[in-house]
Amino acid sequence: MRIIAGSAGSIPLQVPRSLTRPTTDRVRESLFAVLGDLTIGARVLDLFAGSGSLGLEALSRGAISADFVESHGPACESIRKNLEKTRLKGGQVVSRDVVAFLAGVSNSRYDLIFADPPYARSDAERELLEKLLSSPALVGSLAPGGLLVLESLSSAPLPENELWATREERAYGVTRVSFLAPVTRDP
């Protein structure tokens, strides 16, 4: 696994040995091709960050900041080492549960939010995905015009919700990448 492009392009990344499913180089390359210049100058939130590959890729491509939220200690350490190795500025590691982090977010507004929760293979994982997508705090932490980029299991439909509209969706083997924007309500 490596940074695909930008100022840290080709630098290999450390991946935690357990409890993570890193986004493959192919999926990241495709995902960032869809985003194009949206990463330039963006404030990024990387939820369920794992190795930090999504936020690191965004920083390498011109994002001004990235907050990496991850509850697994060894994964947080991998992200710190990857930030040091790539020499990318603007990264901050937050060792915290994603749901608890979102409950405490009040004034932060992000242009891009990446979320790569555990794939919904079990009831608990499906409930976590439902809780994430129904979180008003997640919607509230997105800046106007921002996007939520969600990775999920391609064979399982996303839970129905009234907060998000799908702008685009792509499938790569077992991985689906959904580009979501908050639903706008008419007054």
**What is the tens place of the pLDDT at every residue in 137-181?**
999 999 999 999 999 989 888 988 899 999 999 999 999 999 999
pLDDT for 6: 92
pLDDT for 20: 62
Q: Is the pLDDT of residue 108 over 80?
A: no
Q: Is the pLDDT of residue 21 over 80?
A: no
By residue count, the chain amounts to 187
pTM of the complete model beyond 0.95: no
Work out the percent of the chain whose per-residue pLDDT is above 70: 95
CATH superfamily for 25-182 is Vaccinia Virus protein VP39 (3.40.50.150)
Residue 176 φ then ψ, to 5°: -110, 135
pLDDT for 185: 62
User: In the chain, where are the structural domains located?
Assistant: 25-182
Which carries the bigger pLDDT value, residue 161 or residue 106? 161
**Averaged pLDDT, 82-102:** 95
Q: Which residues of 50-77 are buried (b: 16+ CB within 10 A; e: fewer)?
A: bbbbbbbbbbbbebebbbbbbbbeebbe
Q: For 75-79, 141-145, 181-185, which range has the lowest pLDDT when averaged over its residues?
A: 181-185
Cα distance between residue 116 and residue 177, in whole Å: 9
Cα distance between residue 157 and residue 144, in whole Å: 27
Report the DSSP pairing between strands 175-182 and 142-153: antiparallel
